[in-house]
């Protein structure tokens, strides 16, 4: 299923450049267009948007020097490999890259070695998920860079993911748990929606989180699904 689009802020317009890239800008009425350069939906985008609404043009960012890590990341953002990633994945990796650029964006690519990547992973050892996201982001970057012949070797090759913490996982509900929840949250309450959609729609978990009125076609839901939609 298609995810619901993020609401677009007032006066924000979208264009597609001749290179196929999405370009965002602010224009109030017939006034001047002000380009927004940050990733749509990111905190930086929000800051640029509010600055533009206030009549201030966001300052142009200095282009990173060729051959540096910051330059490589900038080139990666212009590729089909980057654009084909899900928007949520891009936002997640953009956050990683922002920290990488702040820490080492001016470093020449020759100094970004396997040891550098391991050190970056280990600095995030107290948050294993962040360490894993860091590795995934850098792997995507350097695998593309090797293919594009910007570097000769993949600095992430052979770097292992941080170990996952052991645990018993989530406790599976039994029928008594479902009955207790249904008694506490009757049909028509918002708290009941997620349970009914999971149990009675037949949708997989990845689709349940996107399910809503936008997926109804030609008629309203029938039967058991009607109270679910009334609560949405």
Model confidence at 43: pLDDT above 50: yes
What pLDDT does residue 142 have?
97
Which of these ranges, 69-78, 81-90, 152-161, has the smallest mean pLDDT? 81-90
Query: Within a domain: residue 157?
Result: no
Residue 83 has pLDDT above 50, yes or no: yes
Residue 169 belongs to some domain of the structure: no
* Same domain flag for 88 and 131: yes
155: closest CA among 113, 115, 126? 113
Does residue 138 share a domain with residue 85? yes
Is 180 a member of any domain?
Answer: yes
Instruction: Look at the chain and report how many structural domains it folds into.
Output: 3
Domain range spanning residue 28?
A: 12-53
Q: What is the 3-state secondary structure (H, E, C) of 87-116?
A: HHHHHHHHHHHHHHHHHHCCCEHHHCCHHH
Q: What is the pLDDT of residues 159-191, one digit of tens each?
A: 999 887 766 777 889 999 999 999 999 998 989
User: Does any domain span residue 170?
Assistant: no
Q: Starting from the edge strand earliest in sequence, which strands make up the sheet with 34-36, in order?
A: 12-16, 22-26, 34-36
* In the predicted structure, residue 109 carries a pLDDT above the cut 90: yes
Identify the pLDDT of residue 2. 44
Average pLDDT for residues 78-102, to the nearest whole number? 91
Q: What is the pTM (predicted TM-score) of this model?
A: 0.54
pLDDT at 227 over 80: no
Q: Within a domain: residue 81?
A: yes
pLDDT in tens, 15-42: 887 667 788 888 888 778 888 888 887 8
Closest CA to 60 of 35, 79, 39, 24: 35
Averaged pLDDT of the chain: 83
Residue 138 has pLDDT above 60, yes or no: yes
Question: Given this model, what pLDDT does residue 36 score?
Answer: 85
Residue 72 has pLDDT above 80, yes or no: yes
27 vs 153 pLDDT, higher one: 153
pLDDT score recorded for residue 222: 45
Of all residues in the chain, what percent carry a pLDDT higher than 90? 41
Whether pLDDT at 75 is above 80: yes
**62 within a domain of the structure (yes/no):** no
Beta bridge partners of 36: 24
Number of other CB atoms surrounding residue 41 within 10 Å: 15
In a domain, 39, yes or no: yes
Tell me the mean pLDDT in the region 116-138: 93
Residue 216's pLDDT band, with cuts at 50, 70 and 90, is: confident
Residue 128 lies in a domain: yes
């Amino acid at each position: 299923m298609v995810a619901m689009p993020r609401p677009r802020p007032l006066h924000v317009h979208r264009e597609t450049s001749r290179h196929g890239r999405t370009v965002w800008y602010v224009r109030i009425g017939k006034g001047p267009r002000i380009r927004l350069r940050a990733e749509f939906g990111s905190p930086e985008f929000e800051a640029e948007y509010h600055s533009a609404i206030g009549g201030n043009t966001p300052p142009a960012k200095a282009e990173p020097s060729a051959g540096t890590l910051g330059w490589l990341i900038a080139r990666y953002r212009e590729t089909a490999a980057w654009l084909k990633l899900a928007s949520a994945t891009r936002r997640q990796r953009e956050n990683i890259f922002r920290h990488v650029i702040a820490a080492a964006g001016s470093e020449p690519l020759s100094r970004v070695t396997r040891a550098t990547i391991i050190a970056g992973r280990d600095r995030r050892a107290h948050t294993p998920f962040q360490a894993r996201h860091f590795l995934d982001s850098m792997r995507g970057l350097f695998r593309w860079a090797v293919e594009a012949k910007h570097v000769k070797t993949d600095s992430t090759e052979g770097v292992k993911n941080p170990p996952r913490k052991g645990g018993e996982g989530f406790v599976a509900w039994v029928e008594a748990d479902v009955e207790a929840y249904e008694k506490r949250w009757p049909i028509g309450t918002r708290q009941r929606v997620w349970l009914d959609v999971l149990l009675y729609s037949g949708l997989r978990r990845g689709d349940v989180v996107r399910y809503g009125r936008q997926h109804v076609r030609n008629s309203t839901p029938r039967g058991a699904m009607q109270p679910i939609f009334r609560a949405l």
